[in-house]
Structure 1
Amino acid sequence: ILVNTDSIKINPRSDPENPELITHTSVFILKILTLADWGQNPHYFKQFTASFDLPIYNYFDYMDAWKNTFLFQNNEDRHSWFFCFDKTFKKQNIPFWFMDWWCFYGPIEEILPPPIIEAYNTFTKHSESLTLCPTTLSFFIHCKLSWIMYWDYIIEESPQTIPSLHRQFWTKWWNKYDLSKCTSETILRSLKSKSHQDQQFTLPKSKI
């Protein structure tokens, strides 16, 4: 569903010594469809462009696809996901349900290296906060940053209770990222450029 709606590009990678074992998958986020983007009643169905046993899906299926797709795990419990907002990802309204996705699959501030923390603080200070949108999400979208997510099952045991099985999620920084692309200086320049572009858009629109 996410590929069919052009919401993501996905690229699975296999173990060279075991081609049938997918060890990590790259996911480039292109867009997140809001209900307005969907363009019809959320219960109404759209057709897949490829042939599937169930050839239709609706907006609720689309939301579930974001929630469930990245729960894939290989039989050796060592699969990881590489996430990145694609360079083509445009400024948009983020649907509220995506915040829940971000809480599970998105990075946390603690994984950021010191130079990125400095850039993050600059971004926080000089940009407007969006209602109900985590600043880390706005920052990663603005800078098109990458992160790695992986999960595993854990058994939680407490006194006088039955042990329970849970999924635990972890995120980490992608160490191959070129830190020179995201500094306080580049943040300030990009925010200034963005502000200028917004003004250029607003002026002609105000004359209509």
Structure 2
Amino acid sequence: MYYQRERHPDLEFSDHCSLPPSSVVNPCFQPNNQEPAMDLGKKKTQSAKDYEVPDSKATALTPFPTTSQKQIVPNRFSPLQIRPEIPFKSMLASNSPKPTNIQIPNSPEQFQKYFTKDWFEDIGMTPHTEYPTGLIQKDFIRARFQNPTQLWESDNSLKDQRYYELILVDSHSVEITHNPSISNEISFSKCVIKKIHAITTFGGFKEFKDFSVRHPAKGFNYIDYKNAWFRTFFMRPFNHSWFFTFHSNIDKHFPMWFFDWWRKFGSNIQITPPSVQKGFQVFSENSNHSSYQKPLMFHAEFKVPWIFAWDFHFRKIYPDPTPFSLIRVFKIKWWSKFQENTYSEHAVRHYLSTGQKVTCQKGDVKKEKSKASSSSKVSKDSKFMNMPEDMKKEFLEFLAQRSSSTKTKSKESVSSDPIGGQDPYDFQDPYNF
């Protein structure tokens, strides 16, 4: 079912229904948690060793009690009440997916905004028959997910977000890089999709693979592997985002369930600039894939990147008098710094005729910028050396004030934009793998 997400005055960034930063941060940044903290300001590509849990800190699994140990405990819960029956026709009319498309951006400014996808996850009903305020929403979410590292229904405390992230890293399915902010909290992350295992390549449903590092869960099966794709990226709502792209050598024989993953976490052609949409049109006309497969295949073939985020929202999805439900919405956006020429109409036609793809020339641009910057620094240094002493002092004070102002603006941009106000190319280059 599709509902366009609506902003509410009580849900602005400083007061929206997010979990408290101290409780939502990734477990690797919690001082008393089982994982060590990252070095402040350093970006590091994750390896399996980063998820290792020493035996001394591992939580031992409690064995099932024997018959003699079992105790009969009185039932302290009251009987379930009979819920009012909802007419089938009414449910069918209200819950059937509506053919509503993502709002199409029509200006450069709109390409910087997030657009809510036309699918959401129904987490469950709330007791609220009226739209809850921001504070009530916060309290409800805290009570609903008491473990901030498991923002989904789970019956195993060992299988948290870090566990599923380790599965994808240890199986060489992804390459993940986290970018810690000033507060030592992951502000945004990058994920390069390298491989998606089908049941045949995994070894079957009975196959159990051990982790390459110590972990109390020991390993994973195919169900865990599949769940990892749907749970790893629920790191934090509201103020965290993922930068996605595909690896150059990605195997494009995707299992069917990955198209379901794409529907939730993947991009949408409608949010891309006209040049990319024309490239997709040419690709689509020359592709033998089904219509629902073409967007994923286009992004995988040409490594088209996108940015993903998610959050919670309260929505009445059933007819009255049914109360509001808690849902998870999925958001995506285009980034203006992405190199459109590598997946434009010209790039696609060039690939179809020659079999070669247009590559990003970003490395050459970096060299030119480096040369210009170096020559500029030399010029400034020579002028500075010839300045009188009083002018040198004033100039240094001016630079110090400008640096302080820039840092303040940087902090403000990080708090207002889940991508941290950063150009992804500042810390990652999706074209050099």
Matched, 1:146 2:308: no
**Change beyond 3 A, Cα 1:182–1:165:** same
Quick one: distance in 1 between partners of 2:179 and 2:305?
Answer: 17
Kindly indicate whether the alpha-carbon contact (under 8 Å) linking 2:311 and 2:328 is maintained by their aligned counterparts in 1: yes
Is the radius of gyration larger for structure 1 or structure 2?
2
1:32 to 2:196 alignment: yes
Shift of 1:165: 0.7
* Alpha carbons 2:311, 2:329 under 8 Å: kept: yes
Letter in 2 for 1:18: S
In the alignment, structure 1 residue 174 sits paired with structure 2 residue 335: yes
Partner of 1:81: 242
Q: Which amino acid aligns with 1:164?
A: S
Deviations 1:138-176 (CA, angstroms, capped at 9, x unpaired) = 100111110001011000136422111111111111221
Name the counterpart of 1:205: none
The CA deviation at 1:42 is 1.5
SS at match of 1:54: coil
The residue aligned with 2:277 is 117
* TM-score (normalised: structure 1): 0.85
Measure how far apart 1:133 and its partner are.
Answer: 5.0
1:43–1:60 CA contact under 8 A, matched in 2: no
Aligned residue for 2:310, secondary structure, equals strand
Q: Is 1:162 matched up with 2:323? A: yes
The aligned counterpart of 2:207 is 44
Residue 4 (1) aligns with residue 176 (2): no
Q: Which runs of 5+ in 2 are unaligned?
A: 1-166, 357-433
Asked if the contact 2:287/2:294 (under 8 Å) is kept, the reply is no
* TM-score, scaled relative to structure 2: 0.42
Higher relative CO (Cα under 8 Å, sequence separation at least 6) belongs to 2
Which residue of the partner structure matches residue 350 of structure 2?
189
Aligned-partner Cα distance in 1 for 2:240–2:312: 13
Matched, 1:57 2:57: no
- 1:97 is matched by which residue type in structure 2? W
Instruction: Report the CA distance between 1:191 and its aligned residue.
Output: 2.4
Per the alignment, residue 137 of structure 1 pairs with 296
SS at match of 1:27: strand
- 1:168 and 1:36 map into 2 onto residues whose CA distance is 32
Contact 1:111 1:173 survives alignment (8 Å)? yes
Q: State the match for 1:104 in structure 2.
A: 264
* Residues in 2 aligned to 1:122 and 1:165: alpha-carbon distance in whole angstroms: 40
Q: Counterpart of 1:202? A: none
Which structure has more strand as a fraction of its residues?
Answer: 1
Kept after mapping to 2: 8 A contact 1:66/1:101: yes
Distance 1:43 1:68 in 2: 21
Question: For structure 1, which segment, 173-182 or 110-119, has the greater mean C-alpha deviation from structure 2 after superposition?
Answer: 173-182
Work out the CA distance in 2 between the residues paired with 1:60 and 1:193. Answer: 41
Moved more, 150-159 or 137-146: 150-159
Amino acid at match of 1:14: P
For residues 44-67 of structure 1, the C-alpha deviation after alignment (integer angstroms, 9 at most, x for no partner) is: 201111110111211111000001
1:14 and 1:133 map into 2 onto residues whose CA distance is: 36
CA contact (8 A) 2:277 2:344 kept: no
Alpha-carbon distance between aligned partners in 1 of 2:192 and 2:224, rounded to the nearest angstrom: 20
For 2:344, the aligned partner's letter is T
d(CA) in 2 for partners of 1:47, 1:194: 40
CA displacement, residues 102-161 of structure 1 (integer Å, 9 cap, x when unaligned)? 11001112211111011111111122214x852110100111110001011000136422
Q: CA contact under 8 A between 1:105 and 1:169: conserved in structure 2? A: yes
- 1:194 Cα shift? 4.1
User: 3-state DSSP class of the match of 1:2?
Assistant: helix
Letter in 1 for 2:212: T
**In structure 1, how many angstroms separate the alpha carbons of the residues matched to 2:313 and 2:231?**
18
Q: Which amino acid aligns with 1:156?
A: R
